[in-house]
Amino acid sequence: MTLDIIKILKDVNFTEYEAKAYLALLEKSPLSGYAISLNSGVPRSKIYEVLGGLVDRGEVMISHENPALYTPLPPNELINLKKRKAESSFEVAEEALENYSYVSLNRENIWNITGYEPILNRTKEAIKEATGRILLEIWAEDAQELKEELQAAAKRGVEILIVSYGDLVFDFAQVHQHDASEEITNEYGGRWIVLSADDREVVAGILSLGKDSRAAWTMHPGLVMPITEVIIHDLYIYEMMKKHRGILESSFGPNLIELRNRFKFNSSGYSVAAKLGLIK
């Protein structure tokens, strides 16, 4: 019978020596380490190491006498403790494996998303998974579609920095209005979105074409890094304009328009749809 119980205890993560020591304490306690060794058959050279492990896991209690005395956690409490630890371990393992699978599946891929709602839905999922920082460039009207998810992320302690095209007031985020919002909207004839979540995944694309809106979602580091840097550099410009607007505009025109004109490419008034080849 004792051998059967030892096997059962080994199945719930006891070593053989731990099982023998625990059973000896169930038969009689409190006992000193020396007495437990005699009653259980665990060698004296091992007994205090064995008891230390049981005490550390909360499965045996120790008194502060000299010599120290040991008493076992009652069997029903022991089983409940083991169950709680097992459930917690399974939950942690499940989350870790899901995340590992998620990352390994998507780290080398670039996924295409078509349609306004699917793009926003993918963006919402990225926001929900964020734990540290969200960087977002977006038009004000589209940002309202993400308000609930962004607000929830902020409540989790996620830092949220937004470059907004148009007037946007989110008191839970750091919002920086792009100085050239109107010019950019007129120049491109459309609205885009760029999101970086935890410098780990990005969603980037055009939102203003309805069902023909196009975006890419990826965790590929070769794209996550430069796309994240695009948003960060816009934040740099915002901070420089805030402190040195007069100097910069005297060199490059209102809202740095001369710089924009200098680096335009084929800017003949084509809309975003035309540039994407969706219309002739």
Per-residue pLDDT of the chain (280 residues; tens, 9 = 90+): 466 888 888 888 889 999 999 999 989 889 999 999 999 999 999 999 999 999 988 889 998 778 889 999 888 888 888 888 888 888 877 776 666 555 555 666 788 899 999 999 999 999 999 999 999 999 999 999 999 999 999 999 999 999 998 889 999 999 998 866 566 665 666 788 999 999 989 999 999 888 889 999 998 888 899 999 989 988 888 888 888 988 988 888 887 878 777 877 655 444 555 555 554 4
Burial bucket for residue 212 (CB in 10 Å: 0-12, 13-18, 19+): middle
Q: Does domain 2-73 have CATH number 1.10.10.10?
A: yes
- Which fold would CATH assign to domain 110-275? Endonuclease; Chain A (3.30.870)
Task: Please list the helix, strand and coil fractions of the chain in percent, rounded to the nearest 5, in that order.
Answer: 60, 20, 25
201 bridge partner residues? 197
Alpha-carbon distance 235 to 228, whole Å?
11
What is this structure's pTM?
0.58
174-199 residue pLDDT tens: 999 886 656 666 566 678 899 999 99
How far is it, in rounded angstroms, from Cα 251 to Cα 227?
28
Distances (CA, A) of 94 to 84, 85, 106, 129: 15, 14, 18, 16
How does pLDDT run across 83-139, given as a tens digit for each residue? 888 888 888 777 766 665 555 556 667 888 999 999 999 999 999 999 999 999 999
